[in-house]
Amino acid sequence: MSNAYRNNFLREVTANVEEGEWVKMCMQCGVCSGSCPLGPHWEHPPQEIFMMIRAGKREEVLKSNSMWYCTSCYNCIARCPRGLPITHIMHGLAHYAKRLGMVPQNQQTAKFAQKFWDNLTKKGRVNELTLGLSLYFMNGFGEGVKTSLKMQGVGLGMLKTQRMDPLEILGGHGCKDVAGLQAALKKARQIEEAKAVKV
């Protein structure tokens, strides 16, 4: 494999990150950074991330918690004067960091997002009950019991209003052609990985 991108993070992002080719179009106006609902929690808001990519700060960007605070609100996309698909770039950076094993330890959204994906690809549809349970227990058994107790009111309320089904634990909803879906997803992943430029 070539080492073509070793010293050029912008080119690496352009080649390997979803909608990464847009990063170079940013004019650093800061509108996106002022639009994030969880803005105060971003160590590096989107505008800064784009600047850091151009400055070659590979580790700092990919190991950052920042893009994991994106709520997918699409405020930035609606407002960016240069038309950057910022939301997708944030998702793309998060996914790329995950693929490279660079996600910070204990990143809660990364853990949840991974569980969501695992849950949906298992049967083709999300099983809210098993997803919820695995979520409450994702930080260990002790924490899980605490969270479950805290969330008991919500659970009982959902049960009473017919918005939760305890029988889902036995498997629950799913696609009929799970095998076909899984094969298609596997193929898609192969195509994507074959295209990625190794660094």
Partner 1 sequence: MAKQYSFYPGCSSQKKASSYNQLRSTQTICQELGIQLNEISDWNCCSASIGYCGGGELPRLVLSARNLALSEKEHPGQDLVATCAACWLATREAQERLEHDPQLKTEANEALKEAGLTFKGEKKVRHLVEVLIEDVGYDEIRKHVKKPLKGIKIAGYVGCQTNRPFGIVGESFENPVYLDKMIDAVGAEPITNYQKKVACCGGALMFSEPEKSQALVKDILEAAHDAGADMLVTPCPVCQMNTEVYQSFINKKYGTNFNMPSVYYSTIMSVAFGKTAKEAALDGQMIRAKQLEEVAAR
Residues within the interface to partner 1 (CB under 8 A): 18, 37-38, 41, 69, 71-75, 77-79, 87-88, 91-92, 94-95, 98-99, 103, 108-114, 116-118, 120-121, 124-126, 128, 135, 153-154, 157-158, 160-165, 168, 173, 175-177, 180-181, 183-189, 191-192
Q: Which of the ranges 22-30, 116-124, 134-142, 181-189 carries the binding residues for ligand SF4, by CB under 6 A?
A: 22-30
Total binding residues for ligand SF4 by CB under 6 A?
27
Round to whole Å and give the CA distance between 133 and 139: 11
* DSSP class per residue in 72-90: ---HHHHH-TT---HHHHH
Residue 75 touching ligand SF4 (CB under 6 A) = yes
**In terms of CB distance, is 56 or 109 closer to partner 1?**
109
d(CA 44, CA 3): 28
Residue 180 CB, nearest approach to partner 1 (Å): 3
The owner of tokens 């969330």 is 151
CA distance 48 to 50: 5
10 binds, among partner 1, ligand SF4, none (CB under 5 to 8 A by kind): none
Burial class of residue 167 in the structure, from the number of CB atoms within 10 Å of its CB (0-12 exposed, 13-18 middle, 19+ buried):
exposed
172 Ramachandran zone, left/alpha/beta (phi>0; psi -120 to 50): left
Cα–Cα distance, 156 to 172 (Å, whole number): 19
Among positions 84, 97, 110, 135, the unique one binding ligand SF4 when judged by CB under 6 A: 84
* Binding site residues, ligand SF4, CB under 6 A: 26-32, 35-37, 46-47, 50, 70-76, 80-82, 84, 86-87, 90
